[in-house]
Structure 1
Amino acid sequence: MRELNHETITDSVLESLARTPDARLKRIMAGLVTHLHDFAREVELTEAEWSAGIAFLTRVGHMCSDKRQEFILLSDTLGLSMLVTAMNNPGAQGTTEATVFGPFHVADAPRYEHGEDVANGAAGPPCMVAGRVLDRDGKPVPGATIEVWQADDDGLYDVQRPELTQAQARGVLHSGDKGEFHFRSIVPCSYAIPHDGPVGDMLAATGRHPWRPAHLHFMISAPGYKTLVTHLFRRGDQYLESDAVFGVRSSLIADWETGADGVCHLYHDFILNHAPAARG
């Protein structure tokens, strides 16, 4: 029988994974075990610290619901979400950069026609949003599905307001024949991510703030193109350099300009990348 100690146990665990039938799962599990064990040895993890870590992750799980995803918040605030996004969306020259998905997307949001108000009663200064969906050659992408969502003027998404009976500040549109779209909404404001739970405690313990710069979420998909998940960030926001989830990209900073009508206007074209060819 092999005698296990803090140096030899890693090899034993890796050997136990050797017969994993799924090669990808085997690689992921082996990497996870290796890095976790190396981490514990590097920081000389104590039993009390290990127990505190387990308790923290348990609290994260208990905070999760159909309205709140604390594990996504944890991943976001550790920079893991943006790391995975960046690795999997290297993009091509001239295409719109991707950023974090965030925890507040809702499937089956209301459908809107061009020009309609997706705010649907959400508090905030009115805003007109317009643009086009194009491919890398500048050709329009008609019929693209455009999902948009954002926080209201109090920094809250509709799913954070249990009193609401209808969706607000979110919706689904489709680009026109020339790739064009336009809709009404509200001007985004900076807001704090939920920090009344374990992720908030972690931020406080590490001397970090929970704030995100003002932004508008987009998810754009069309047949033959890679789905784009991105934000547009409001230029001049004080948190652009210190986004709590590390999601800001300079190419995604945009201008909300006040027009002659006294209403803010945002115009932006989104450039999609072609989907990778299927492997034969």
Structure 2
Amino acid sequence: METAKERTVTPEQIEGPYWLPGSPERQRLVEDGIVGAPLTLTGRVFKQDLTPVEGAWVDFWQCDGVGVYDFEGYRLRGHQYTDADGRYRLETIVPVEYTDRLEFAGRQFDVHRTAHLHVKVKMPRRQTLTTQLYFPGAPHNDKDQIFNAACILELSSDGRTAQFDFVLPW
């Protein structure tokens, strides 16, 4: 039996500039016209003592297969709630890496991002964990200043399914 010491708390990561509130509740983010290879992501949400969290809010957002985020609606955005065993299941696509020009304090700069999924996880009556999930072996993981190896997905050999368990610090 795995102990809490063998499970590390999922690291907090920046939200980034592309999160939008009010995503629809759904398990399938794929819609007509979305470019990208299909991906099914599954996992569980646990408290730090490895108790599964029922009813955790899990919100996903990502770019498409050409590196574009939707700001007009909720394409590739959605949330769901975990079941009694803390499980979630998401049907989406594999995002791609991209470079974007951002402005901060009146200065513009280019930021290169490796392929990633954004996630917020909130246990009832607790704070929200914001993090990002990454793909193993992606060619530019080491060039992304935000990349965290503790957030790498367990990816199947065909790249069509992935798994990640979130461990909350509460």
State TM-score, norm by structure 1: 0.54
Measured at CA, do residues 258 and 108 of structure 1 come closer, stay the same or move farther in structure 2, by a change above 3 Å?
same
Alignment pair present for 1:266 and 2:162: yes
Aligned Cα root-mean-square deviation (Å): 1.9
Equivalent residue for 1:105, pick from 4, 13, 19: 19
The SS at the match of 2:127 is coil
Q: CA deviation at 1:169?
A: 0.7
Larger relative contact order (Cα-Cα within 8 Å, sequence gap ≥ 6): 2
- The aligned runs of 1:13-92 (5 Å cut-off) are none
C-alpha separation between the residues in 2 aligned to 1:157 and 1:232?
16
Q: CA deviation at 1:118?
A: 1.2
Q: Which residue of 1 aligns with 2:122?
A: 221
The SS at the match of 1:241 is helix
When Rg is computed on C-alpha atoms for both structures, the one with the higher figure is 1
State the identity %: 27
Q: Which has the higher helix share?
A: 1
The SS at the match of 2:85 is coil
Runs of at least 4 residues off by over 3 Å: none
- Check whether the contact 1:110–1:171 (CA below 8 A) recurs between aligned residues: yes
- Check whether the contact 1:119–1:186 (CA below 8 A) recurs between aligned residues: yes
- Check whether the contact 2:82–2:88 (CA below 8 A) recurs between aligned residues: yes
The count of residues paired between Structure 1 and Structure 2 equals 161
C-alpha separation between the residues in 1 aligned to 2:108 and 2:87?
43
Measured at CA, do residues 198 and 271 of structure 1 come closer, stay the same or move farther in structure 2, by a change above 3 Å?
closer
The SS at the match of 1:251 is helix
The SS at the match of 1:158 is coil
Query: Which amino acid is the alignment partner of residue 114 of structure 2?
Result: P
The SS at the match of 2:164 is strand
Alignment pair present for 1:236 and 2:137: yes
For structure 2, the 5+ residue unaligned runs are 1-6
Q: CA deviation at 1:181?
A: 0.7
Query: Which amino acid is the alignment partner of residue 135 of structure 2?
Result: R
Provide Cα deviations, 1:160-194, integer angstroms capped at 9, x if missing partner.
xx5xxx4211101000000001020001211112x
Measured at CA, do residues 142 and 248 of structure 1 come closer, stay the same or move farther in structure 2, by a change above 3 Å?
same
Q: Which residue of 1 aligns with 2:91?
A: 184
Query: Which amino acid is the alignment partner of residue 220 of structure 1?
Result: V
The SS at the match of 2:165 is strand
- Check whether the contact 1:188–1:234 (CA below 8 A) recurs between aligned residues: no
Q: CA deviation at 1:210?
A: 2.7
C-alpha separation between the residues in 1 aligned to 2:94 and 2:20?
20
Query: Which amino acid is the alignment partner of residue 156 of structure 2?
Result: E
- Check whether the contact 1:129–1:266 (CA below 8 A) recurs between aligned residues: yes
C-alpha separation between the residues in 1 aligned to 2:70 and 2:167?
28
Q: Which residue of 2 aligns with 1:46?
A: none
C-alpha separation between the residues in 2 aligned to 1:220 and 1:242?
26
Equivalent residue for 2:147, pick from 248, 256, 266: 248
Q: Which has the higher strand share?
A: 2
- The aligned runs of 1:122-271 (5 Å cut-off) are 122-159=34-71, 166-193=73-100, 195=101, 198=103, 202-203=108-109, 210-243=111-144, 246-259=145-158, 264-271=160-167
C-alpha separation between the residues in 1 aligned to 2:86 and 2:12?
19
Measured at CA, do residues 105 and 139 of structure 1 come closer, stay the same or move farther in structure 2, by a change above 3 Å?
same
Query: Which amino acid is the alignment partner of residue 212 of structure 1?
Result: R
Provide Cα deviations, 1:108-135, integer angstroms capped at 9, x if missing partner.
11111xxx42132321111101000001
